[in-house]
């Protein structure tokens, strides 16, 4: 089945003059391409295909939330309110947003038909008199905070649907809704949910339509006294702890308005929250902790799977706005590490939580949530993951959002390689149709080979991101070495007249890196009062992690299933590295098909000491460096390949010194 992605490309990408773009005071660095412009290849296509054949393609067959959501019907499900509103709207919108993106990325007729049939209900409902995307209910339903929040996620799904198809009826529905949409007041606390995150699809709707009332609705927010107060508070600090999904969704709101107002304080407010979260809650897998609420730093602190989608979405917006490679680096780190960990290798089951060290089903212990709330077994892999179905819906955004953002358009009518992996791009640079093949096994390989095929010889710039972790990149054009001069934002620019068959070879050498830190106490929040470790205020256990390029490495505990580890596999090792050259790299061909298997294409052999270590909930890591036990060599694999593992290791004093020197 041939899709119409080329039409959407003409509407949206480089060479098009965006409606209202001249009203932006700060020109965004990058513009996203529509679903389908980037096609995954190699191992990345295997993973995308697994999602289509698994949860993403079949979630409506597994739970009423996804089968009945947005159908304007009464149904029974956890959190549902009268007339089919409430909690399930959020969960279903998550799924539909991921479904429509993946459908057009893969050009899959079955997925396209499923996405179209569901999203057309919303579009038609708006055109038939609906006052919002909750088309069967009056606008007063948006006074409910959860309905307003859920509305934003359906808005994102419809923006993607329009980008993929160019169907004007979809855009007209978005314009009708967002011209006078009731955006709520912002809030300091990251709980409960807040519908101001509708600014994402609202601003995209304006960019695509140029309707001045849509933009006026957004800009009115920046003039509200309450909004200005929160911006000032975030810039001044301290930041208030709260629900991590809401944190990731809310913190980008000021930055979204920055290009339209030119007020640098708005961007700075968003950046301040991220610096704060990095300092107090950052985990080595690329995201901050979120056991529903911020949970500090620790080997058994959890990341809710919703955050694997929500965190990179905020990073994606900051990349669009600023062009700074650091946000793309963060997106890669979260995708390659946190992305596959909570999802079964066949993409049929998933878990609500992941954590850096998962030793067995009994450890870390399943901890209750807020007082009186039992979250059940949040580590087990099941078809719907948990009685609360937000994460299984949100998980469907992880793969397509990465693929869509691998390439973006630039204001000078060029193209930028923002994220790496095997793919094929079909789009326009200026007025010229262009195909670019990206042959690589990155991040399991250091070589990225681009073949550029413009329809006719054409001049345009090509930008390549040089990750911050890469110290000695090299670049060739048609076999000839060229000097790398990176911009302040970390991209190298190739400006030339491109001819069909031009070859660009980028090499990003990876090296082992040891990162050390200390576990911290849980925040003083009543949400954690039922948890034993949260009562301790003196947590300061040292740890060490091993990175290689964008990948976090872990000691694997082999498994038969995501919930069944092999018995008796030793894990009681402390890293004992006197110099980074002691870490040996093993490379193997990438398995086909790729399923994030333990037989990884890259492994690290690392010096260690095996010692008497029996971690408990109250003492997950030793309280000081370990200098006893016998010498050993352990083999580590990428964190994303594991279901049971150690990735935050005890360490010896030699490792501590090595990390300090690096």
User: Which of 71-80, 159-168, 639-648 is predicted with the least confidence, judged by mean pLDDT?
Assistant: 71-80
Model confidence pLDDT, tens digit, residues 415-441: 999 999 999 999 999 999 999 999 999
pLDDT of residue 407 exceeding 60: yes
- Contact between 658 and 513 under an 8 Å Cβ cutoff? The reply is no
What are the CB-based long-range contacts (under 8 Å, 24+) for 521-527? 521/296, 522/295, 522/296, 523/241, 523/280, 523/293, 523/294, 523/295, 523/296, 525/241, 525/293, 525/294, 526/370, 526/371, 527/292, 527/293, 527/369, 527/370
- Contact between 417 and 463 under an 8 Å Cβ cutoff? The reply is yes
Question: Over the chain, what is the mean pLDDT?
Answer: 93
415-417 and 423-429 strand pairing: unpaired
Tell me the CA distances in angstroms from 383 to 61, 63, 252, 424, 456, one per residue in order: 11, 9, 32, 32, 49
> Which residue spans within 349-446 are E strands per DSSP?
353-354, 407-409, 415-417, 423-429, 432-439
User: Alpha helix locations (H) across 107-224?
Assistant: 109-127, 145-165, 168-178, 199-209, 212-222
Model confidence pLDDT, tens digit, residues 235-288: 998 899 999 999 999 999 999 999 999 999 999 999 999 999 999 999 999 999
In 3D space, the residue among 577, 534, 426, 395 whose CA is nearest the CA of residue 8 turns out to be: 426
Predicted pLDDT at 532: 78
Domain with CATH 2.60.420 in the chain: 412-507
Residue carrying the six token digits 């000691």? 555
In 3D space, the residue among 612, 595, 512 whose CA is nearest the CA of residue 553 turns out to be: 512
pLDDT of residue 497 exceeding 70: yes
In 3D space, the residue among 611, 624, 612 whose CA is nearest the CA of residue 656 turns out to be: 624
Model confidence pLDDT, tens digit, residues 197-211: 999 999 999 999 999
- Contact between 467 and 549 under an 8 Å Cβ cutoff? The reply is yes
The C-alpha atoms of residue 591 and residue 461 are separated, in whole angstroms, by: 35
The C-alpha atoms of residue 302 and residue 353 are separated, in whole angstroms, by: 6
Query: pLDDT-derived band of residue 547, with 50, 70 and 90 as boundaries?
Result: very high
The C-alpha atoms of residue 351 and residue 644 are separated, in whole angstroms, by: 13
Predicted pLDDT at 299: 97
- Contact between 465 and 490 under an 8 Å Cβ cutoff? The reply is yes
The C-alpha atoms of residue 451 and residue 433 are separated, in whole angstroms, by: 14
Predicted pLDDT at 534: 81
Average pLDDT over residues 56-61: 96
Predicted pLDDT at 12: 45
- Contact between 649 and 543 under an 8 Å Cβ cutoff? The reply is yes
The C-alpha atoms of residue 506 and residue 462 are separated, in whole angstroms, by: 13
Task: Return phi, psi of residue 585, to 5°.
Answer: -105, 130
Model confidence pLDDT, tens digit, residues 109-156: 999 999 999 999 999 999 999 999 999 999 999 999 999 999 999 999
Model confidence pLDDT, tens digit, residues 508-535: 999 999 999 999 999 987 777 767 788 8
CATH code linked to domain 412-507: 2.60.420
Q: DSSP of 79-105, one letter per residue? A: TEEGGGEEHHHHHHHHHHHHHHHHHHH
Domain with CATH 1.50.10 in the chain: 5-348+383-404
Average pLDDT over residues 607-613: 98
The C-alpha atoms of residue 134 and residue 125 are separated, in whole angstroms, by: 8
Average pLDDT over residues 576-586: 97
The C-alpha atoms of residue 594 and residue 591 are separated, in whole angstroms, by: 6
pLDDT of residue 373 exceeding 70: no
Average pLDDT over residues 210-219: 97
Percent share of the chain, pLDDT over 70: 95
Percent share of the chain, pLDDT over 90: 88
Q: Which residues pair with 428 in a beta bridge?
A: 433
Q: What is the pTM of this model?
A: 0.96
Residue 131 DSSP label = S
pLDDT of residue 348 exceeding 70: yes
Query: pLDDT-derived band of residue 61, with 50, 70 and 90 as boundaries?
Result: very high
Alpha-carbon Rg for the chain in angstroms: 24
Between 1.50.10, 1.10.1060, 1.20.120, 2.40.10, what CATH number should domain 5-348+383-404 receive? 1.50.10
The C-alpha atoms of residue 429 and residue 438 are separated, in whole angstroms, by: 17
Predicted pLDDT at 10: 42
Average pLDDT over residues 639-647: 98
User: Which of 387-391, 498-502, 552-556 is predicted with the least confidence, judged by mean pLDDT?
Assistant: 387-391
Predicted pLDDT at 385: 64
User: Which of 20-34, 402-416, 580-594 is predicted with the least confidence, judged by mean pLDDT?
Assistant: 20-34
Query: pLDDT-derived band of residue 19, with 50, 70 and 90 as boundaries?
Result: very low
The C-alpha atoms of residue 513 and residue 6 are separated, in whole angstroms, by: 43
Residue carrying the six token digits 């056991």? 291
* Other residues' Cβ atoms within 10 Å of the Cβ of residue 95: 28
Residues 6 or more apart in contact with residue 623 via CB below 8 angstroms: 540, 541
């Amino acid at each position: 089945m041939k899709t119409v992605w080329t039409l959407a490309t003409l509407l949206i990408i480089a060479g098009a003059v965006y409606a209202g773009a001249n009203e932006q005071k700060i020109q965004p660095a990058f513009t996203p391409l529509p679903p389908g412009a980037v096609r995954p290849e190699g191992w990345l296509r295997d993973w995308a295909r697994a999602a289509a054949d698994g949860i993403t393609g079949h979630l409506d067959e597994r739970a009423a939330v996804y089968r009945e959501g947005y159908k304007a019907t009464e149904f029974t499900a956890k959190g549902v309110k009268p007339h089919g509103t409430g909690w399930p709207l959020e969960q279903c919108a998550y799924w539909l947003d991921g479904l429509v993106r993946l459908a057009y990325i893969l050009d899959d007729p079955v997925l396209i038909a499923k996405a179209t049939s569901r999203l057309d209900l919303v579009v038609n409902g708006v055109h038939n008199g609906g006052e919002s995307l909750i088309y069967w209910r009056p606008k007063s339903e948006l006074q409910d905070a959860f309905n307003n929040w859920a509305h934003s996620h359906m808005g994102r799904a419809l923006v993607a649907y329009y980008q993929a198809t160019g169907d004007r009826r979809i855009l007209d529905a978005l314009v009708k809704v967002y011209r006078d949409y009731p955006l709520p007041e912002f809030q300091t606390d990251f709980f409960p949910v807040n519908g101001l995150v509708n600014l994402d699809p609202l601003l995209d709707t304006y960019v695509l339509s140029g309707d001045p009332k849509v933009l006026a609705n957004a800009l009115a927010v920046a003039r509200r006294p309450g909004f200005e107060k929160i911006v000032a508070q975030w810039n001044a600090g301290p930041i208030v702890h709260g629900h991590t999904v809401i944190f990731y969704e809310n913190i980008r709101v000021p930055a979204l308005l920055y290009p339209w107002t030119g007020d640098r304080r708005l961007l700075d407010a968003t950046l301040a929250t991220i610096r704060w979260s990095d300092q107090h809650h950052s985990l080595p897998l690329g995201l901050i902790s979120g056991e529903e609420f911020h949970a500090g730093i620790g080997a058994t602190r959890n990341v809710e799977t919703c955050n694997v989608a929500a965190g990179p979405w905020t990073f994606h917006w900051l990349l669009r706005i600023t062009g700074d490679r650091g946000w793309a680096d963060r997106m890669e780190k979260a995708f390659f590490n946190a992305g596959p960990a909570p999802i079964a290798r066949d993409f049929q089951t998933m878990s609500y939580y992941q954590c850096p060290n998962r030793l067995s089903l009994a450890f870390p212990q399943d901890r209750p949530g807020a007082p009186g709330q039992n979250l059940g077994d949040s580590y087990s892999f099941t078809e719907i993951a948990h009685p609360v179905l937000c994460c299984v819906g949100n998980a469907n955004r992880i793969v397509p959002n990465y693929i869509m953002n691998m390439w973006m358009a630039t204001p000078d009518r060029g193209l930028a390689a923002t994220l790496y992996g095997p793919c094929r791009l079909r789009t326009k640079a200026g007025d010229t149709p262009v195909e670019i093949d990206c042959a690589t096994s990155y991040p399991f390989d250091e070589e990225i080979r681009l073949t550029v095929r413009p329809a006719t010889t054409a001049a345009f710039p090509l930008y390549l991101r040089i990750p911050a972790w890469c110290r000695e990149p090299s670049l060739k054009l048609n076999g000839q070495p060229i000097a790398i001069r990176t911009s302040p934002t970390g991209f190298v620019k190739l400006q030339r007249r491109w001819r069909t068959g031009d070859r660009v070879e980028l090499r990003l050498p990876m090296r082992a890196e040891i990162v050390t830190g200390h576990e911290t106490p849980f925040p003083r929040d009543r949400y954690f009062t039922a948890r034993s470790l949260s009562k301790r205020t003196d947590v300061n256990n040292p740890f060490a992690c091993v990175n290689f390029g964008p990948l976090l490495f872990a000691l694997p505990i082999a498994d038969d299933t995501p919930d069944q580890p092999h018995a008796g596999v030793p894990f009681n090792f402390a890293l004992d590295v006197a110099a980074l050259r002691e870490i040996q790299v093993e490379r193997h061909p990438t398995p086909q098909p790729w399923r994030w298997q333990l037989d990884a294409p890259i492994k690290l052999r690392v010096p260690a000491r095996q010692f008497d270590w029996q971690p408990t909930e109250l003492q997950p890591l030793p309280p000081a460096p370990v200098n006893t036990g016998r010498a050993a060599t352990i083999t580590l694999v990428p964190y994303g390949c594991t279901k049971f593992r150690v990735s935050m290791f005890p360490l010896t004093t030699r490792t501590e010194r090595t990390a300090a020197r690096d």
